[in-house]
Structure 1
Amino acid sequence: MTDITYSIVEHDGGWAYKVGDTFSETFPSHDAALAAARRAADEQEQPGETEGIVYEDKNAVWRQELSSGDDRPTTHVEDTK
C-alpha cells in the first residue's frame, strides 16, 4: 500500500499543499490550503473503476498504466503551523 502525505507550505506569496516535489495552486490563506489538501487526500482514498491512466514521471517520461479502482493509497495531511 502506498502512503501519500500532503504538506501545507508557504508558496508564491500565499499557501499551498505539496505532495513530494509538486505544489498545488496557491491559496490566499493557510486555512484554504489546508481545506483543499484534506479534500484532495479524501478523494485520493475513494475507490473507483479500473481505468487506464497516463502521467509524466520525474524524468519527464510519459507513462501509461492500468490503475485498479480498489488499489487506493493511504493519505495523510501534515500541517506544521
Structure 2
Amino acid sequence: MTKVVYEIVEHDGGWAYRMDGAYSETFPTHSDALQAARIAAAEQQVGDEDTEINYQDKSGRWHEEYSQGGDRPEAEVVDIAAAQK
C-alpha cells in the first residue's frame, strides 16, 4: 500500500502543507494549515468508483491506467513545525 505524508511547514510568509515537494496554498496560521492537511489526508483515503486514468509524465508521454476505486493510499499528517519546537 502506498503512503502519502502531508507535512506542515512555514511557507511564503504563512503556513502550508507539503506533499512530495508540492505545497498547498498558504494559510495565515499554523492551525489553518494543519486543519486543511487533515481534511486533505482524510479525503485521500476515501474510495470511489473504478476508472480509467490518463496522465502526462515529465517527458511529455501520455499514459493510460486502470485504477480501482478502493485502492487508496494510507495518509498521514506530520507537523514538522511542532516537532522542531
For the superposition of Structure 1 and Structure 2, which TM-score range results when normalised by the shorter chain? 0.7 to 0.9
Alpha-carbon displacement from aligned partner over 1:24-74 (angstroms, at most 9, x marks no partner) = 1111110000000000000000111112234454x2535432221010000
After TM superposition, list the pairs within 5 Å mapping 1:1-20 onto structure 2: 1-20=1-20
Residue in structure 1 matched with residue 52 of structure 2 by the alignment: 52
CA RMSD, aligned part only? Answer: 1.6
Percentage of identical aligned residues: 51
Unaligned runs of 5+ in 1: none
Larger gyration radius, structure 1 or structure 2: 2
After TM superposition, list the pairs within 5 Å mapping 1:1-81 onto structure 2: 1-57=1-57, 59=58, 61=60, 62-80=62-80, 81=82
Greater than 6 Å deviation, 4+ residue runs:
none
